[in-house]
Amino acid sequence: MNSSDTVELFKKYVIPNYGRYPVNLVRGEGSLVWDSENNRYLDLFPGWGCNLLGHCPPKVVKAVQDQVAKLIHVPNTWHMEVQGLWAQELSERSFGGQAFFCNSGTEANEAAIKLARLHTPKQRYKIITFEGGFHGRTLGSLTATAQPKYHEGLGPLVAGFNYAPYGDLEAVEKLIDEETCAIMVEPIQGEGGVRIPPAGFLQGLRKLADDNGLLLIFDEVQTGCGRTGNWFAYQHFGVTPDVMTLAKAVCSGIAGGVMMTTPAIAPSLRPGMHAATFGGNPIAAAAGIATLQAMEEDDLLAATKRLGDFFRTRFEKLKQECNIIQEVRVVGVMVGVELTVDGAPVVQKCLERKLLTNCTHGRVIRLLPAMNLTMEQAEEGCKILEDVLKSVAAE
Ligand SMILES: *Cc1c(COP(=O)(O)O)cnc(C)c1O
Domains of the chain: 3-57+299-394 (3.90.1150.10), 59-297 (3.40.640.10)
CA of 248 to the centre of ligand 1 (A): 7
Strands (E) located in 270-331: 325-331
The model's pTM: 0.98
CA of 1 to the centre of ligand 1 (A): 31
pLDDT value, residue 387: 97
The finding on whether 120 has its CB within 6 A of some atom of ligand 1 is no
CA of 283 to the centre of ligand 1 (A): 21
pLDDT value, residue 259: 98
DSSP state at residue 26? E
The finding on whether 193 has its CB within 6 A of some atom of ligand 1 is no
Alpha helices, DSSP H only, in 145-192? 169-175
CA of 225 to the centre of ligand 1 (A): 14
The finding on whether 163 has its CB within 6 A of some atom of ligand 1 is no
The finding on whether 134 has its CB within 6 A of some atom of ligand 1 is yes
CA of 172 to the centre of ligand 1 (A): 23
pLDDT value, residue 129: 98
Alpha-carbon gap, residue 255 to 347, rounded angstroms: 26
Q: Which atom of ligand 1 is nearest to the CA of 186?
A: 13
pLDDT value, residue 179: 98
pLDDT value, residue 9: 98
Residues 281, 73: contact at Cβ < 8 Å? Answer: yes
Pocket test for ligand 1, best of 18, 51, 102, 135 (most atoms within 8 A of CB): 135
Q: Whose CA is nearest to atom 5 of ligand 1?
A: 105
The finding on whether 110 has its CB within 6 A of some atom of ligand 1 is no
Each of the 395 residues of the chain gets a pLDDT tens digit; together they read 999 999 999 999 999 999 999 999 999 999 999 999 999 999 999 999 999 999 999 999 999 999 999 999 999 999 999 999 999 999 999 999 999 999 999 999 999 999 999 999 999 999 999 999 999 999 999 999 999 999 999 999 999 999 999 999 999 999 999 999 999 999 999 999 999 999 999 999 999 999 999 999 999 999 999 999 999 999 999 999 999 999 999 999 999 999 999 999 999 999 999 999 999 999 999 999 999 999 999 999 999 999 999 999 999 999 999 999 999 999 999 999 999 999 999 999 999 999 999 999 999 999 999 999 999 999 999 999 999 999 999 98
Alpha-carbon gap, residue 112 to 97, rounded angstroms: 14
pLDDT value, residue 186: 98
Alpha-carbon gap, residue 162 to 165, rounded angstroms: 10
Give me the half-sphere count of Cα atoms (radius 13 Å) on the Cβ side of residue 366.
21
Pocket test for ligand 1, best of 248, 334, 358, 366 (most atoms within 8 A of CB): 248
CA of 164 to the centre of ligand 1 (A): 20
Pocket test for ligand 1, best of 143, 166, 221, 364 (most atoms within 8 A of CB): 221
Whole-Å CA distances, 47 to 140, 219, 263, 306: 24, 19, 33, 22
CA of 332 to the centre of ligand 1 (A): 19
The finding on whether 222 has its CB within 6 A of some atom of ligand 1 is yes
The finding on whether 329 has its CB within 6 A of some atom of ligand 1 is no
pLDDT value, residue 266: 98
CA of 195 to the centre of ligand 1 (A): 16
pLDDT value, residue 171: 98
The finding on whether 94 has its CB within 6 A of some atom of ligand 1 is no
Counting DSSP H helices and E strands in the chain, the numbers are 12, 15
pLDDT value, residue 350: 98
Strands (E) located in the chain: 25-29, 32-35, 40-43, 98-102, 126-130, 161-164, 180-185, 215-219, 243-246, 257-261, 325-331, 334-339, 355-356, 358-360, 364-367
CA of 105 to the centre of ligand 1 (A): 4
